[in-house]
Every structure is written in C-alpha cells, then in structure tokens.
Structure 1
Amino acid sequence: MATGKRAIELSSTGGPDGAAPPTPARAARDTRDRTLADTVYENVLARIVRGDFPVGEKLPTEHELSVEMGVSRPVLRQALKQLREDGVVVSRQGSGSFVRRKPEEAVLDFAPIGSIADIQRTFEFRAAIEGEAAFLAAQRRSERELRQIQTALEELDRCVRTGELGVDADEAFHAAVCAASDNHYFMSARNSMKANILTGLNLTRNLSLTKSQERLAMVQAEHDAIFAAITARDGEAARRAMRNHIESARRRVFDGDIGQA
C-alpha cells in the first residue's frame, strides 16, 4: 500500500503512470459513444444481411453514413472497426470500406438487432475466461469432474445425432469445465452473464442446425478436443482447444457469401 508522499502522488494523478482518472462526464460520454457505435454497427450489419449493401460493393462514405445515422464520424469509425474485425467489411486505403461478407439472414432471425454486439463481446469474454478455466481444469480435475464433463459431451453427441438444438447440453459442458478448474471465481464470472451466454449458444447452435451434418460434426470435434486435452492433463492444449472453439463459434456467426472485396 502506498504511504506518505507516494500516496499523495497516486491520489493526485489517478495512478502510477500519471494518467488522470476519467471524470464522470467523460465516462458517461464514452459509454454513450459505445452504445451509439453498437447501434450503428448493428444497423449497417442488418443492411448488409438484407442485401442493401451488396458483397463487393463500396459502402457510402463516412460522411454520408454519419449524416444519415445522426452520429459523429468517430462513433461511425468504431462501428466500422467492429465490422472489419468480424470480417464483414474491409477497408482499402484511399478508397473507403467495401462489403467483404454477407452473413446469412438467419442471424437476424435468431439474434434480433440490439443483441448482436453484446453477443460478440460475450464471445470475447468467454474465450479469455474459459480458456484459462480449461487450462486449470486439465491440471486439477478429479475423476468425478472428468466424468461430469464426459456426461455433458455424450449428451451433446446425442443431440447432434438426433438433430436437437442442444443448448442445455452445451452449457452443461462448459460449466463442467469451469467447475473442474477448482476456482469458484470462474463459475461466478460465467453465472454473472449466463443470460448473455445462453443467447450466444442459442444463436450459434440454431445456425449450425441450418448447415450440413459435417458442420455439426466439426463443432462437436472442437468439444472432443477440449475433453481429450483435459483427460490427458495437458493444460496448454486444453487452453488452445477452448479458445479455438469459442473464437471459431464467434466467426461462424458471420458465415455466408464472401466476395473478393
């Protein structure tokens, strides 16, 4: 704990790096800008999905979009940055932004506008948290906990064979991995946003049901890889397998027609 002069320095500067803490007004503005950026992101995404902005075509200029949507250009740029990270648009220096991929319309059926940005952030959170939980589960799991993971995996296998959605079984698998980490904070973190997680699982599993059996088998193979690594007590492999699975699920949300943009 800082004392004396050092404590005064930390208090006056806001931290050891000298950065002043954000004021309430600044924090409120940042939150408002993120919310606006999410709204613009989902608006542009929906228009791409509907075909208003075709694959390979250039988006309207930043000025045109910002005026049309009533937001500042910095807010618009935040939205376009997220679309680039999702692989939906691509920027060409000096030419603007072009539509690279058209996600399937089913995305809007299973995830109404207003939820997609949160779903994507949930995937980011899960990749970080559950990757580490899998690493520790591989090192610490008991035989009983391993059987619980296996039971959930077998239920997922059954759902794949019978064409069932399998959201509950998928959630049970991931929860069992977190429980096997022997650190209750992983479970607490997941439980704090369980509704968001279930929304994401519902979206990705519904989208998978619209695909071929090979797609379902590929997703299940990712679960198998996590279980195999935890069984072998290979923490690094378990972390990689879990992160790969969740990041792949995030990318699969935007599967669809892809152009040469």
Structure 2
Amino acid sequence: MAKLRKTGLIESRQGAGSFGNSGPGDRTSGYGALDPVANISGYFVFRKVIEAEGAARAAQNVQPADIDTLRSIVEGIETRIEAGQATAALDAEFHTSFRCCLTTASLAKP
C-alpha cells in the first residue's frame, strides 16, 4: 500500500479507505492505473487474501511485547481519529511492526 501511495496510484483517505488514482503521468513505475472498477475490486480481493494469511502466520509468532506495541499503535490511531488528525504515519508504523511478527520460517510454511 505504501508503495502504491508513494507512486500516486492510490490515495488513502482517513476513515474512508484507499482509492485508485490515474497515477503518475510517466508510468515508469511499472504499475498501471487501477481502473476500471473490476481491476480495483480484484486488487482488494488480492489484498484480503494476503492480509488474512499474514495475520494467521503472525499470530503463530507474535510475542507479548509485539502485542503491546501493536495495541499502543492502534490506541494512538483511535485517538487521532477522534481528534480528526491524520493517521497515515501510525498506520505505516502498525504495518511495519506487524511485519516484524512474521519470520522467514513462517513465510516458508505451506
């Protein structure tokens, strides 16, 4: 998601989700625009599968300190939402911390 945002292919809107953009004009990133709607829908189906599998594997490896870290970040996100503030930085921090719960060994499991 971060790479798609960075390249301008999606735009994340607080409380609303992620939306496809026409993307950068030069198309040197290797990604096409997320259009038409069928492509966008397919992207989200793909994302659901990947995120569900990642969550299952992270749950097998998570440590109490990881849970504390993730919980703290989520509380920070909720506080910012209530205050009407941006949450993108905390969202990125959450996903980075979440990714640390995945080990190479867990990713290698069928």
Give TM class, smaller chain.
Answer: 0.5 to 0.7
| TM-score, scaled to structure 2 | 0.53
Q: What residue ranges of structure 1 are gaps of 5+ in the alignment?
A: 1-109, 187-261
* Higher RCO (CA-CA < 8 Å; seq separation 6+): 1
Residue 161 of structure 1 corresponds to: 82
| Aligned amino acid, residue 125 of structure 1 | F
User: d(CA) in 2 for partners of 1:127 and 1:120?
Assistant: 11
Q: Percent identity?
A: 23
Please say if 1:178 is aligned against 2:96. Answer: no
- Does the alignment pair 1:129 with 2:50? yes
The AA in structure 2 aligned to 1:159 is: R
Query: 1:156: Cα distance to partner?
Result: 0.8
Q: Contact between 1:130 and 1:178, CA under 8 Å: does it hold in 2?
A: no
Higher-helix-fraction structure? 1
Deviation at 1:130, TM superposition (A): 1.7
- Mark the CA change 1:116 to 1:174 in structure 2 (over 3 Å): closer, same or farther: same
Taking structure 1 as the reference length, the TM-score comes to 0.25
CA distance in 1, matches of 2:50, 2:74: 20
The structure 2 residue matched to 1:116, chosen from 22, 29, 34, is 34
Q: Which has the larger radius of gyration?
A: 1
Aligned 8 A contact 2:57 2:106 in 1 = no
Gaps of 5+ in 2: 1-18, 24-32
User: What RMSD, in angstroms, separates the aligned Cα atoms of the two structures?
Assistant: 3.0
In the TM superposition, structure 1's runs of 4+ consecutive aligned residues that sit over 3 Å from their partners are 110-122, 183-186
